[in-house]
Amino acid sequence: MSNHTARVLIVDDMPVNRMILSSLLATHCVLSDQAESGAECLQLCRNRRYDLILLDHRMPELDGVDTLVQLKALFDEKGWKVPVICHTTEEGREYINLYKAAGFADVLIKPINPRQLSDILRAYLAETEQPEAVPTVAVTKEQPPAEDDERDELDKLPLWLKTVPHIDLVAGIATCESAEDYVDALTIFRSSIESKADAIEHHLDNDDWEAFQLSVHSLKSMARLIGARSLQTAAAALEAAADEGDYNLIQRETPGLLSDYRRFLKFLAPLAETISEDVPLADTNVPVMSPEVVPEEDHSRSILLVRTSDSIITKGFIKNLQDADFTVTAIPDEPDLIINYRFQSDIILYYPHSVENGHIGLTMNLLGEVCQDDAKLLLLTGDAIELKAAMASRWAHRVSRCYLRPVDIPHFIRDMNYFSVLLQEYHRRKTIFIVDDDPDYLSVIEKWLSVDYAVSCFHNGPEILDGISAMRPDLILLDYEMPEMDGCELLKNFRTTPATQQIPVIFLTGKNDRDHVFHILEYKPDGYLLKSSRREALLDAIHRLFAETMFRKSLL
């Protein structure tokens, strides 16, 4: 056993991913440093030897593989053996063998499963002294295991659907998240079979290979969404053949694909009958309810004051804030009270008063996690020694402002008003534009997002350019492969036009090979998601983008 505590380097260009990993490592008493790029990773490794490196694969400029190559050369020069773990998304699971062949010791899948991370630490830090992990205060709501949720949703499906061949219901439920959304996706899928099959046949007969490739790509995405694995595999093979110019294979295999595709008209015929009779699609004894949009209560002018002791200073803060029309709830800095009152305010003001026994650090850890999870703003006030202790915690990066006593009250109130405006903007119902040439996929994504956002759909580049000229959205979800203008051409247009260059853009595509990824990253999108992403992952990515945008503005 070694006589030093383990130190891990986290390399990821997304701050939220670094935060999550750092927090999880801390529960194992493992120290960590962070780097947001491959270049920064290399610089840190030149000056310090780490016990383990968690390296994101997809990063701009220097990706994970290129960084790994340079790390290996550096370690050979220094005579070090440092395991490097590839930190990648769920879609990277099928490339685990490729990652290992490239030189990664192992693969860690996002979103991080704490048990998987624990296994990684046990496997690669076995020679490092590890103190027993200390329990942390749980601040997340209790949730049943994912398997139980999926089983409950499967039980809501109509009995006839469970006898349909060539469909993996579990995979479909896992992607769509609920029985209702899954049946909606199946309905959309079935409604377009005739027109899409005819279009593929037409492109084949006319040797229109570009249109053929787009059509089978669209079919592949929808087949994956509903769990039609064999149909997905066949469509993917024809898409690859079109890309490689293997027209003999296309001529040979397409009739079989179309035959299998059209058979789903019969397999899913009860969907049409159910719709025409206006009968619920799920079993009648298990009603499926549409989610109700409930507006969030506005807490943008509500402040949670967390203080070590009640004093004339805290009473002065409360009075000044109340005079400025803020609602103030003051509580002692006790974990149970912080958790109980966390939902009543969007702004948390922490006034530490004692540096003894590491209490400030413990409170900061809890407040940092709460503000990260719930998109709240964290502010500090106090004397220099207390502020220094608070800012030494690992959650210091989550603090928007510090106010050294004696506080300039007019300046402080101006800041509070500014933060209130930021939070009102954050909670405003956002507008999202989605552009994709596949009407079926558009219908599914529109339903997924329209509960929380105002959604407008566009089928091609000219359409969305017209739409943006009339209204500026808060976010654009952009497909890669489209006729007339592909996703990269559109993004280039957005980034070079003053009126649209600040609009966040997330690619939502089925392309995940290295060449396409690098081509997309040249234009610096704000995110990159695969169409195979589950509904929850898509919603979470959008929520985090808006939350992090608000937080960054709070630091200005």
pLDDT in tens, 51-66: 999 998 878 778 888 8
Which of 531, 434, 437, 433 shows the shortest CA–CA distance to 485?
437
What DSSP assignment string belongs to 244-310?
A: HT-HHHHHHHHHHHHHHHHHHHHHTHHHHHHHHTT--SS-TTS--PPPP--PPP--TTEEEEEESS-
pLDDT of residue 126: 61
As a whole number of angstroms, the distance between CA 499 and CA 487 comes to 18
Q: How confident is the model at residue 11 (pLDDT cuts 50, 70, 90)?
A: very high
- Cα separation, 68 vs 61, in Å, equals 14
pTM of the model: 0.63
Reported as a single tens digit per residue, the pLDDT across 376-396 is: 999 999 999 999 999 988 788
pLDDT given for residue 145 in this prediction: 44
Rounded Cα gap, residues 83 and 80, in angstroms: 10
- Give the phi and the psi of residue 78 in degrees, each rounded to 5: -90, -10
For 467, left (φ over 0), alpha (ψ -120 to 50), or beta?
A: alpha
- Give the pLDDT mean for 222-236: 90
Q: What is the pLDDT of residue 296?
A: 56
Distances (CA, A) of 171 to 72, 178, 228, 357: 38, 11, 9, 50
Q: Which residues contact 164 (CB under 8 A, 6 or more apart)?
A: 267, 268
According to DSSP, residue 168 is labeled: -
Instruction: Please give the angle made by the CA atoms of 110, 111 and 116, to the nearest 5 degrees.
Output: 75
Q: State CA 189 to chain mean position distance.
A: 26
Lowest mean pLDDT among 222-226, 299-303, 364-368, 540-544: 540-544
Q: How far is CA 543 from CA 225, 374, 452, in A?
A: 22, 10, 10
CA distance linking residue 435 with residue 458, whole number of Å: 5
Where residue 514 falls among pLDDT bands split at 50, 70, 90?
A: low
Residue 129 has pLDDT above 50, yes or no: no
CB 215, CB 200: distance < 8 Å: yes
Region of 82 on the Ramachandran plot (φ > 0 left; ψ -120 to 50 alpha; else beta): beta
- What is the DSSP track for 42-104? HHHHHH---SEEEEES--SSS-HHHHHHHHHHHHHHHT----EEEEE-GGGGGGHHHHHHHT-
Q: How far apart are the first and last CA of the chain?
A: 46
Question: CA–CA separation, 296 vs 455, rounded Å?
Answer: 19
Band of pLDDT at residue 539, cut at 50, 70 and 90 = confident
Tell me the DSSP string of 53-67.
EEEES--SSS-HHHH
Longest dimension (CA), the chain: 84
Is there a contact between 436 and 459 (Cβ–Cβ < 8 Å)? yes
Q: Which amino acid is at 525?
A: P
pLDDT at 538: 84
Give the residue among 265, 267, 268, 242 at the shortest CA–CA distance from 253: 242
At residue 16, the pLDDT reads 64
High-pLDDT (> 70) share of the chain, %? 85
| The pLDDT of residue 131 is above 60 | no
Q: Identify the pLDDT of residue 104.
A: 86
User: Which pLDDT score is estimated for 217?
Assistant: 86
| pLDDT at position 27 | 61
- pLDDT for the residue 61: 79
- For the chain, what is the mean pLDDT? 82
Residue 525: φ, ψ to 5°: -70, 165
Identify the pLDDT of residue 357: 60
What pairs with residue 466 in β-bridges?
A: none
> What are 89-117's pLDDT values in tens digits?
766 666 676 677 778 888 888 767 777 78
* Structural domains present in the chain: 7-124 (3.40.50.2300), 146-276 (1.20.120), 302-426 (3.40.50.2300), 431-554 (3.40.50.2300)
- Nearest-10 crossing angle of helices 312-323, 409-427: 60
Within 10 angstroms of residue 517's Cβ, the number of other Cβ atoms is 17
The yes-or-no verdict on residue 323 having pLDDT over 80 is: yes
Token pair 């380097």 is at which residue? 9
What pLDDT is stored for residue 319 in this prediction?
A: 92
Sign of CA dihedral 125, 129, 132, 136: negative
Quick one: pLDDT band at residue 147, thresholds 50, 70, 90? low
What is the per-residue pLDDT for 49? 87
Tokens (6 digits) for 452: 């929380």
Mean pLDDT within 501-529 = 75
pLDDT at 26 over 70: no
What's the average model confidence in pLDDT over 491-518? 81
pLDDT of 142 reads 38
Which has more pLDDT, 536 or 9?
9
The single-letter DSSP state of residue 437 is S
d(CA 137, CA 363): 10
Residue 279, pLDDT > 50, answer no
Tell me whether residue 260 is exposed, middle or buried, using C-beta atoms within 10 angstroms of its C-beta: 0 to 12, 13 to 18, 19 or more. middle
User: What is the per-residue pLDDT for 263?
Assistant: 92
Least confident residue range of 121-130, 215-224, 409-418: 121-130
The reported pLDDT for the residue numbered 128 is: 43
Among 405-414, 486-495, 512-521, 540-549, the minimum mean pLDDT is found in 512-521
pLDDT at 288 > cutoff 80:
no
pLDDT of 276: 43
